[in-house]
Amino acid sequence: MKKIILSIVLTIVIIVAAAFIAYKIYVYNTKKVTRTELVTEINFLSSESDATLVNTPEVNTISQWRGVNRNGVYNETGLLKQWTADGPELLWFCDGLGDGYASPAIANRKIYIAGLYRDDLVLSVFDLDGRLLIRKIVGKEWNDSYPGARSTINVNDGKLYIFNSLGHLHCLDEKTLNLIWKKDVLNDFDGRNVMWGMTEAPLIVGDQVFCTPGGEKYNMIALNKNTGELIWHSSGEGTTSTYCSPLFIGDYAIPVVVTNTQKHIIAFNAETGEQLWSYPQTNSNNIHPNTPIYSDGMIFSTTGYGGGAVLLRLKDGGKSVELVWSNKEMDNQIGGAMKVGDFIYASGHRNNYWFCVDWKTGQTLYKVRDIAPCNVIFADGMLYCYSEKGIMALVKPNPDKFEMVSSFKVTKGTSQHWAHPVIHDGVLYIRHGDALMAYKVK
């Protein structure tokens, strides 16, 4: 009898112990790291402090705004073609990043993301399992209308390039987070800030960093990425910048940098700064955040507030352009567009629809209200649409009809659903205000 009782007790102890271990694993994997914990338990490093991260960066790994080519395409394979009713598995999340709309940058098995805490721009660095490695105050950040960090960090050749909304461009060592150089782009180059602060993600090509102070003399500039020294400047059209992140085109004998300023799509010789051409693009507010899309000798640009979209054909080796078509309906404000095959997909702004437009003709093939307004990226044959209402949707690109396959509601985070998602190594990263979520989509 005693043996039976002892056996029962031992079994109960084993079951309880197993349950406790399972519970601890569950808590570890799903623990919510609150804003209070991040702010009070993690010591912020000041901008002058040294910090060595655990792993040495792999040289030449890069990450930037909207993917390696700035076109919203993430080169992933084997991703899920359908999600469960509740959405894909949430691997981890963290809130308390600080306010912001900047997408995460992911390189060398680390996640870099900027946020606003009080008046400071705070850099948070995570590993791919969501563990916070370090936080560092880099400088000040926008704390006015729609407060928060805007610009996606550019990781390039062992360095981090962080541009704040006040026009300060910081270059940090990726391993130590020590400051290598800093430029006050607006003051040093006679620039002018815009209504909601600088939002541009500077472009890096070779040893050059391109950005747009928007001054009359220093309209666009190229800096040496290693030293911050000025390489060239161009007066452009002399109008202010307009939240747009530039695009590089390397298909021609003359390398081309294209961006939008207040009233124009504009192109420069990337080596010399010579203005090659400009083409008028306006709207009622002269706000043009979307990076142009380049494909097969054509440049597509869309703008909100009723401005619509245009397709331009490059001529004379990139030295000039001509209009192919314009479409006043597809007036995307900040969400970007995706070219898939011979079709372009995007949501409108004042024309609050989801559009499919023929790339060759500019004809609107259909428009629906199901998901607009939203931002959009593309991976492994599918569109990922993140709406301003917080709906994350998996959409099959179909020129005949809108075809939403799966969707779920993003419930964590704060303020507007404006940050563009990122996909890396089978994981979908969504930033919503002060929260970052990682979903398993492979």
Give the per-residue pLDDT at 12.
Answer: 60
pLDDT at 26 > cutoff 80: no
324-347 residue pLDDT tens: 999 999 999 999 999 999 999 999
Give the per-residue pLDDT at 3.
Answer: 56
Give the per-residue pLDDT at 8.
Answer: 59
Give the per-residue pLDDT at 406.
Answer: 98
The token pair at 206 is: 């070779």
Give the per-residue pLDDT at 86.
Answer: 95
CATH of domain 32-440: 2.130.10.10
pLDDT at 18 > cutoff 60: no
- pTM score, whole prediction: 0.89
Measured CA to CA, the distance from residue 16 to residue 19 in angstroms comes to: 5
Instruction: For residues 59-83, give the mean pLDDT.
Output: 92
Give the Å distances, CA to CA, from 431 to 104, 314, 349, 411, 425: 7, 36, 21, 11, 17
Q: How many CB atoms lie within 10 A of CB 271?
A: 15
Per the rule left: phi > 0, alpha: psi between -120 and 50, beta: everything else, 306 is left
Measured CA to CA, the distance from residue 180 to residue 157 in angstroms comes to: 13
Tokens 């001054």 correspond to 215
Give the per-residue pLDDT at 30.
Answer: 41
pLDDT bin (cut points 50, 70, 90) of residue 61 is confident
Give the per-residue pLDDT at 46.
Answer: 59
pLDDT at 27 > cutoff 50: no
Instruction: For residues 75-104, give the mean pLDDT.
Output: 97
User: Domain residues of the chain, as ranges?
Assistant: 1-31, 32-440
Give the per-residue pLDDT at 42.
Answer: 41
Burial state string for 45-81 with b = 16 or more CB within 10 A and e = fewer than 16: bebeeebebeeebeeebebbbbbeebbbbbebeebbe
Chain-centre distance for alpha carbon 379: 15
196-237 residue pLDDT tens: 999 999 999 999 999 999 999 999 999 999 999 999 999 999
